[in-house]
Structure 1
Amino acid sequence: MRRSVRDEGFAEIWDDEIADAYDTPGAGMFAPEVVGPAVARLTELAAGGRALEFAIGTGRIGVPLAAAGVPVTGIELSGPMLRRLRAKAGEETIPVVVGDMASATAPGEYTLVYLVFNTISNLLTQAGQVACFRNAARHLAPGGCFVIELEVPDLRRLPPGQGAVVFGNEPGYLGLDTFDVLNQRIVSHHFTFDAGPGRAARLTRSPHRYVWPSELDLMGQLAGFALESRHADWRGTEFTGESRSHVSVYRLP
């Protein structure tokens, strides 16, 4: 699946069935060429200190980051996702606080807080997203940084008068986004088709609030951050008007 939902009452989307199928070791978002650059950049930004991951999930980034020598703590709302993480790393290796990333508090102070894979869009109001920035600031030591990986809203593919577009079409799967441009909402519809006669389909939906980079910067300012850098990916590729995603680093004074 392209996106994830864990917050603001949507923890139930991440049930046991979804959590058990979430990890795709060595492929997709778990591929070494995807995970490796993210872990390398986050290790650099942690600067020898502790890291806190909001919505740590099954540990796609947190587990290899801890293995690289960065002390990692997580916040996670979904019990089934946390159960998958615990199959990889115990509480003594990666402590996790169960709660909402916009309000839950983890003990201690950190040099790095981070959110990956569009997760801030799981918070469905602007106020909730601002609260997430403020929660990150509360956990950071002076000079610490908050890192967000996020898609750039791709409304150019939405023709006037049309409210839905297909974003994925492959054997056994169809992905469809519906847009509410007034409220900056997207609902991603994931259709999975069984093999064999009848081709029974299973539908899951995940709602999101998309954020423009300029709006994200203002949220950072409201929480006391200044934008330090923005790149198109974890490797440091230049961010341009054609970039479809960004990795933004916000720094406290």
Structure 2
Amino acid sequence: MEDPDGCFGEDVAATYDEDSADMFAPEAVEPAVDFLADLAGDGRALEFGVGTGRIALPLARRGVPVHGVDLSRAMVERLRAKPGGDAVGVTIGDFATTRVDGAFALAYLVYNTINNLTSQDAQLACFENAAAHLEPGGRFVIEVGVPELRKLPPGQTVVPFRTSPTGWAYDVYDCATQSLSSNYVDVTGGRGSFRSIPFRYVWPSELDLMARIAGMRLVERWQSWTREPFTHESPEHISVWRKTAE
């Protein structure tokens, strides 16, 4: 039977914050919260893929009303257990299609979450869903890496990104379909475990086209939350699209 939590069930949620500790450090969180709070202003914010509240909780503490959408009940349970967790409303569902009440000044997706939608149609639906929730002039923000295809010599499809004596992790690319999987092998007590998470990588220009189809236009693109310029060498981008007036 299909896991209702998708790829982020109890086994992942139980150690998610610890496994992603670098992304929970103040130097990673605070610039993102500053950036998003500035865009939200006095309005409401909608987070697609709210997870355990890494960004939603500190953003709510800044006085921004935040509502989240997430498919994983296990992840949301961790959010709820944290101080201030009851201040963030959450709707369980697929953020490509799930609707919530009200209009928002800001919608956002962080930490490569757009890639969790594994088809172009689903990613486009996410843009359309964001636009449907935004007020005229509202912003949609995505943080996502630039596909690392430059690391692939002819004939190679695998890029390792973590190695240790007790485990390793690697991405597998299919350039024909833009499919990508992140794979994790861990060895504990002489026993190995394997986990694979599917993604679809997407290019900045492709995201811009999705935004235009959904009635939004690019207004900013940066390499980081601190607004470093986006260049040919940038490993990721923070992009902001504005919903056109209706």
User: TM-score, normalised on structure 2?
Assistant: 0.94
In the alignment, what sits opposite 2:58? 64
CA 1:25–1:155 in structure 2 vs 1: closer, same or farther (change >3 Å)?
closer
Match of 1:166 among 160, 167, 183: 160
Aligned to 2:18: 24
User: Matches of residues 218-229 of structure 1 in structure 2 within 5 Å?
Assistant: 218-229=209-220
Please point out which of 197, 201, 219 is paired with 1:210: 201
Any residues of structure 2 matched to 1:129-140 within 5 Å, and which?
A: 129-140=123-134
Q: Can you give the 5+ residue segments of structure 2 that lack an aligned partner in the other structure?
A: none
What is the CA deviation profile of residues 103-161 of structure 1, one whole-angstrom value per residue up to 9, with x for unaligned ones? Answer: 00111110000000000111111110000000000000010000000000010111111
**Match of residue 237, structure 1, among 213, 217, 228:** 228
In structure 1, list runs of 5 or more residues that go unmatched: 1-7
What amino acid sits opposite 2:152 in the alignment?
L
1:218-237 alpha-carbon deviations (Å, 9 max, x no partner): 00000011000000010101
Checking the alignment, whether the CA contact within 8 Å between 1:121 and 1:211 is kept in structure 2 is: yes
Classify the secondary structure of the residue corresponding to 2:173.
strand
Q: Is the 8 A contact 1:26 1:32 kept in 2?
A: no
How far the C-alpha of 1:9 sits from its partner, in A, is 7.4
Query: Cα distance, 1:92 vs. partner?
Result: 4.7
Contact 2:49 2:109 in 1 (8 A): yes
8 Å Cα contact 2:52-2:79 kept in structure 1: yes
CA–CA distance in structure 1, aligned partners of residues 150 and 131 of structure 2: 33
> Are the aligned partners of 1:66 and 1:72 in contact in 2 as well (CA < 8 Å)?
yes
Q: Is the 8 A contact 2:225 2:238 kept in 1?
A: yes
Partner in structure 2 of residue 146 of structure 1: 140
Task: Show the counterpart of 1:81.
Answer: 75
Deviation at 1:10, TM superposition (A): 7.6
Worse-superposed segment, 154-163 or 109-118: 154-163
1:89 deviates by: 5.4
Task: Tell me which residue corresponds to 1:103.
Answer: 97
Match of 1:201 in 2: 192
Q: Which residue of 2 aligns with 1:246?
A: 237
3-state SS of 1:103 partner: coil
Residue 13 of structure 1 is matched in structure 2 by 7
TM-score where L is the length of structure 1: 0.92
* Structure 1 residues 9 and 249: CA distance shift in structure 2, 3 A: farther
AA partner of residue 176 (structure 1): Y
* Whole-angstrom CA distance in 2 between matches of 1:187 and 1:134: 25
Matched pairs, number: 243
> Aligned with 2:67: secondary structure?
strand
Aligned-CA RMSD value: 1.8
What CA distance in whole angstroms lies between the structure 1 residues aligned with 2:223 and 2:164? 26
Aligned residues: percent identity?
49
| Counterpart contact for 1:46–1:70, Cα < 8 Å | yes
Q: Match of 1:126, as an amino acid?
A: Q
Q: 1:15 to 1:25 in 2, by over 3 A?
A: closer
Match of residue 55 from structure 1: 49
Deviations 1:73-112 (A, max 9, x none): 0001001001111102567511111100010011111000
* CA–CA separation in structure 2 for the residues paired with 1:172 and 1:129: 35
Query: Once the 2 structures are TM-superposed, how far is the Cα of residue 14 of structure 1 from its aligned partner?
Result: 1.4
